[in-house]
Structure 1
Amino acid sequence: MLRLPSRISSTAIRRVLPWLFRAVALLLVGWYLVLLYLPAGSPAQVYGLTVPKGVGFAAIARELQQAGVIRSSLHLRLVARLRGQDRRVQAGDYRISSAMLPSQILEKLAGGQTDACKFTLPEGYSIYQAAELLEKQGIFDSEAFLAACTDQGVLHELGISAGTVEGYLFPGTYQVGFQMNEVSLVTEMVREFRRRTEKLKPLLDATGMRLGQAVTLASIIEREAVSPEEKPLIASVFLNRLRIGMPLQSDPTAIYGVKVFGGTVTKQDLQRSSPYNTYRIKGLPPGPIGNPGLEALQAVLQPAKTDYLYFVARKDGTHQFSRTLAEHNQGVDRFLKKGKKKRL
């Protein structure tokens, strides 16, 4: 009868272990290389991945594995860690094909190569101009965007008590992902407004103004000012007028929602009956006439200390400011051509 040894000698173990370690190492290297150079599927399988700001890479890898566009989340995390790309992933919308290699996926995510288009809202643009620009660039239908801007459910969700989001779409450049819709863009722009203006709250509280009033006045200043340095001066003129009950008589308010302000307003425009026309009403209009930037808002909350009541545009885009009507009329005669309407 054959007897087996009761125990394996330590010498035998020492001889086997190196081979065992080599075999395991080869298996791990093979697993790593196979997954590195073997796509999970075909180009036809594409997954829309949205990466929010601040999300961890582990969650991204798990989502891609669950979607079937990669074979192993562990493998993708390992590759990302070795390449130093796990902390460089940028937020945005991405189309990830299952035919892409892990290296290609990581390069796309870390490089911010989003499948999105850029949309820039200039300072002072109204929701109507924004809608027109979005349609012109082939991003959204103008009517659908305006519907989102006036949707009562959206306004309630965003904490806006007005009838539209006018004034609360923060000017700037946005990535419009392929999975975004009109409401998504409006929401992102309003949230950016909240984020960027949070630091102005102490100044707002000190003035005693409501946020809506400050935004409304800032929107008028934004359309009147050409030079950023003059915004506090223009703010002082309007605030001085409000203080004594003098009409603002601001050109852009007369044509809000009717046509784009181009610097010249006709006599017919000034006579138009509109709750926004500050040639026909006293005080502020019922809401903003555009979406102001941070400088215009700061100008309202920290205006220049002056006793100016008038200003008129010079030919270089700046303004002459006056304390009296006589001084103002002299400026009008000097800087405005015959036939043009007087400014303030």
Structure 2
Amino acid sequence: MIVTLVPITRFSRFLLFPPGNGKRVEIVELGKGRPLKALAADLEARRVLSSARLFTLYARLKGGDAKLKAGYYQFDDGMRPGQILAKMISGDIYQRIFALPEGYSSYQVAEMLEKRGIFGRDKFLAACHDQALLKEMGIDAASAEGYLFPGSYNILPGQTELEVVRGMVQRQKAYLKESVDGRARARGVPVQKLLTLASMVEKEAVLPAEKPVIAAVFQNRLQLGMRLQSDPTALYGVRAFAGKVRREDILKPTPYNTYLIPALPPGPIGNPGKDAIEAVLNPAAVPYLYFVGRGDGSHQFSKDLASHNEAVRKYLKAPATAPQGGS
């Protein structure tokens, strides 16, 4: 290897004094097999380095050129070359982690992404409703609601809303294929119905132990031809569900409002986690048809309307003329 000699003063200045004050921030990809020289040139073009040639020389002298780990990195123009090199050797990659909570609807996810400055709300929702993507993913529904897998995602620079939605759906589909599809078919439960019920259970339940009981209540009511009368369905697509439902919400006609429609909603009202899906596949063996919140996250379950009305009076301290259904 031929090493070009440079004046020590210039090299020392390069090592000690970064080109800026840290205000310029750049995210750069170090792809597998990308030459160090090309990366250094990119960093110089972005004014993170003052000299690509000197950085390449420095990295080789330190023996770091063969130790760099691929990934996205965030640098600023206030970093010294040694800091930049150390970051790539240690694999301190850039991460923009976004956690999709269990039960959140696509509307809530879109609002979270917008607040984080990652995506615009409307663009993310448009991706969830993109018919070409839904067809590609084998989803026969109006949106990807229910198929966005709850979990953590590292949203990389340049990723589009469609790409992120596709990744979320792929993870949910992989889980369903591996752990759910066979059992759902054996029980005669279509996946869309399974996810719809699970999304309602997820929205209603606070305590994990109650999920199989709430799932049983909904399935018992369906078997008897009763309306499900679930509060979150009355609010889906209208406003955020915060555990409170008003009389005007119950009376508002929407395709999802189970106070008015005599069946399941046309699709999920959120993206259920594994526990809620398992609860629908394995509901508790209970005779309950009603439940009402006690105010501490738990519910009082009843098997007849008289007992439910008494529970409503006790825990809601209001006349039992409002919802007689699930919640």
Q: TM-score, normalised by structure 2?
A: 0.77
Q: Does 1:253 align with 2:233?
A: yes
Cα drift, residue 119 of structure 1: 2.1
What amino acid is the match of 2:235? Answer: I
Alpha-carbon displacement from aligned partner over 1:119-140 (angstroms, at most 9, x marks no partner) = 2222211111222222222221
Residue in structure 2 matched with residue 134 of structure 1 by the alignment: 113
Q: Does 1:241 align with 2:221?
A: yes
* 1:250–1:49 distance in 2 versus 1, CA, 3 Å: same
Please list every run of 5 or more consecutive structure 1 residues that lacks an aligned counterpart in the other structure.
1-23, 31-37
Q: Does 1:217 align with 2:217?
A: no
* 1:261–1:68 distance in 2 versus 1, CA, 3 Å: closer
Residue in structure 2 matched with residue 309 of structure 1 by the alignment: 289
Residue in structure 2 matched with residue 333 of structure 1 by the alignment: 313
**Matched residue SS, 1:120:** strand
- Aligned mates of 1:150, 1:109 — CA distance in 2: 41
* From 235, 259, 263, the counterpart of 1:279: 259
Farther-moved stretch of structure 1 (164-173 vs 96-105):
96-105
- Aligned mates of 1:219, 1:49 — CA distance in 2: 39
**Aligned pairs for 1:15-26 within 5 A:** none
Alpha-carbon displacement from aligned partner over 1:245-277 (angstroms, at most 9, x marks no partner) = 211110111111001112121122111111111
- Aligned mates of 1:303, 1:65 — CA distance in 2: 59
Q: Does 1:185 align with 2:164?
A: yes
**Matched residue SS, 1:119:** strand
* 1:63–1:297 distance in 2 versus 1, CA, 3 Å: farther
* 1:203–1:182 distance in 2 versus 1, CA, 3 Å: same
Q: Does 1:265 align with 2:245?
A: yes
Cα drift, residue 47 of structure 1: 8.4
What amino acid is the match of 1:315? Answer: G
* 1:328–1:119 distance in 2 versus 1, CA, 3 Å: same
* From 229, 237, 255, the counterpart of 2:209: 229
* From 324, 330, 343, the counterpart of 2:304: 324
What amino acid is the match of 1:188? Answer: G
**Matched residue SS, 1:128:** helix
Cα drift, residue 336 of structure 1: 1.3
Q: Which has the larger radius of gyration?
A: 1
Residue in structure 1 matched with residue 49 of structure 2 by the alignment: none
* From 70, 75, 96, the counterpart of 1:117: 96
* From 138, 149, 163, the counterpart of 2:128: 149
Farther-moved stretch of structure 1 (264-273 vs 226-235):
264-273
Please list every run of 5 or more consecutive structure 2 residues that lacks an aligned counterpart in the other structure.
6-13, 45-51
What amino acid is the match of 1:271? Answer: L
**Aligned pairs for 1:19-98 within 5 A:** 58=33, 64=39, 79=64, 89=69, 93-95=72-74
Q: Please, what is the CA RMSD of the aligned residues? A: 3.9
What amino acid is the match of 1:163? Answer: A
Q: TM-score, normalised by structure 1?
A: 0.73
Alpha-carbon displacement from aligned partner over 1:227-259 (angstroms, at most 9, x marks no partner) = 111111111111111122211110111111001
- Aligned mates of 1:190, 1:100 — CA distance in 2: 41
Cα drift, residue 191 of structure 1: 1.8
Residue in structure 1 matched with residue 48 of structure 2 by the alignment: none
**Matched residue SS, 1:300:** helix
Residue in structure 1 matched with residue 8 of structure 2 by the alignment: none
Residue in structure 2 matched with residue 167 of structure 1 by the alignment: 146
